[in-house]
Amino acid sequence: MLKNTQLKIVLIFFILGILIISGLCCMYIVDLTNIQNISQDIINIKTEKIFEISIYLLIGYCFFCIIMGLIAIRHTNKPLSSLINNIEKLVAGEEVDIKYIEDKKDNNEINELVNAFNLMTNELKQNITEITRQKKQIETIVLHMTDGIIAFNMEGNVILVNPAATRLLRLMPDDNNFRKIFNSNLNIDINMEKLIYLEDWTSSEQRITVGDKYINLFFAQFKDENDRPSGIMVMIQDITEHVKLDNMRKEFVADVSHELKTPITSIMGYADTLLEGEYEKDTQVKFLNVIATEARRMAKLVTDLLTLSRFDNNLVLQEKTTFDLGELVKQCQEKVQIEIEKKKHNVECFVTANVPPVYADKDGIERVILNILTNSIKYTKEGGNIKIYVGFVYNDAYIKIIDNGIGIPEEDLKRIFERFYRVDKARTREMGGTGLGLSIAKEILDRNNGTIDIKSQKGEGTEVVIRVPTKS
């Protein structure tokens, strides 16, 4: 179009030029014929000459016009074609090479237009780069989020889904629609239309189970630039750990109440009986003994609970010292000698020579050894065999306590360090167990960079290995 306009201008100039040259030529010839004292032959010769000169002039003028036209076209077309080229590149999303025209002499409207457009392109390019960067950032966050996220458009089709959502909801490639995912697959009574017209500030929440996982779903609408609902966003959170912890807390409260209720009921019953009637001395002593035993059990339970609570709140002060583990094991054995003798167990202790001294909280480690040893004595029938080994592997000293007692069934082994966990609740309660000993032992060893491992076979016996770091 522009090209045509320039050609037209050149053409008009060309025609005007021809008319002027022809007009001048005619005027000269007319002037010549008006001169009276010139012969006809001279007029003819001069007229021919004028024609010849005019033809040369016209040819020269034609060339001049063509050259001028070409220069004009080239001059205006160059920036415009680069402009068009840049627009095409911008639309295609390719890299744009922006050059401003700085020649002030040629600062016509076209150059200004080109410069303005280049400025706009530059701004646009920067904005696109920024948007692309932000988009990439959001994509990376969504991709690596541990929570799942799915976005649906107004038709209920999936427009965005991250790997966490696929994993948590076990989505298949053809699960691409709101109804299919939530109504058919997960069997949730939820309506997309209702969600879309939720109040701005509200979100709907649902708790579901998928396999062995507890999942929380948050549904919220999102809007377009005109503030009109544009789809639904669903956040998917795995709350399995949270639910488990909550259940454990509830179980713990129930366990504590139960553990305390049993001795209290017993104490109250015996105390009331004693108060109600006149009993012989022997019966009174028997009843008082039961009361004393139950009170002691309660006291032990409360002490153990306080110990655990102090561990939980990091209130336990540990005084790490260097000491001989073999020596400590022997002292512990002496402390439980009465119980060993009561149950007529055969206890042997082997201490390997040159076990380096350990560096740990001595009172804590003593408590652990006493607990393991007491368990072996308690859970082994009369006349059992208990072997204790103290040795050294790499940087750790170890104590191995092996008994041939009742053992622990395999399915209970993995829960044995849980608070209040006991294999046979009724029986172990009779033996005075609280189910807290091993959890305390594990807490103590964790805090001393030690470890505890239990191997056992029901009816065969149990082997407990404790490792404590040496000073080196």
Residue type, 272: D
233 phi and psi, to 5 degrees?
A: -115, 130
Minimum CB distance to ligand ADP, residue 303 (Å): 12
Alpha helices in 239-357 (DSSP H): 240-276, 281-312, 325-335, 337-342
User: Are the C-beta atoms of 168 and 146 separated by less than 8 Å?
Assistant: no
Residue 435, interface with ligand ADP (CB under 6 A)?
Answer: yes
Query: Of 274, 306, 304, which is closest to residue 291 (Cα–Cα)?
Result: 274
Residue 384, interface with ligand ADP (CB under 6 A)?
Answer: no
Among 340, 438, 445, 466, binds ligand ADP (CB under 6 A): 438
Q: Which residue is nearest to ligand ADP (CB)?
A: 433
Residue 340, interface with ligand ADP (CB under 6 A)?
Answer: no
Residue 442, interface with ligand ADP (CB under 6 A)?
Answer: no
Minimum CB distance to ligand ADP, residue 148 (Å): 39
Question: Alpha carbon 409 to chain centroid distance?
Answer: 38
The interface region with ligand ADP, picked from 23-31, 32-40, 203-211, 406-414 by CB under 6 A, is 406-414
Residues β-bridged to residue 386:
347, 403
Minimum CB distance to ligand ADP, residue 420 (Å): 8
User: Are the C-beta atoms of 359 and 469 separated by less than 8 Å?
Assistant: yes
* Joined tokens for residue 170: 């076990």
Residue 326, interface with ligand ADP (CB under 6 A)?
Answer: no
* Joined tokens for residue 29: 């010839």
Minimum CB distance to ligand ADP, residue 405 (Å): 5
Separation of alpha carbons 201 and 194, rounded Å: 14
- x/- letters, 209..238, toward ligand ADP (CB under 6 A): ------------------------------
Residue 405, interface with ligand ADP (CB under 6 A)?
Answer: yes
Residue 433, interface with ligand ADP (CB under 6 A)?
Answer: yes
Among 371, 404, 448, 470, binds ligand ADP (CB under 6 A): 371
Query: Of 92, 82, 91, which is closest to residue 118 (Cα–Cα)?
Result: 82
Separation of alpha carbons 415 and 63, rounded Å: 103
Residue 404, interface with ligand ADP (CB under 6 A)?
Answer: no
Task: Number of residues interacting with ligand ADP: please give it, by CB under 6 A.
Answer: 20
Residue 422, interface with ligand ADP (CB under 6 A)?
Answer: yes
Separation of alpha carbons 354 and 424, rounded Å: 40
Which positions lie near ligand ADP, rule CB under 6 A?
Answer: 371, 375-376, 379, 403, 405-408, 416, 422-423, 428, 433-438, 462
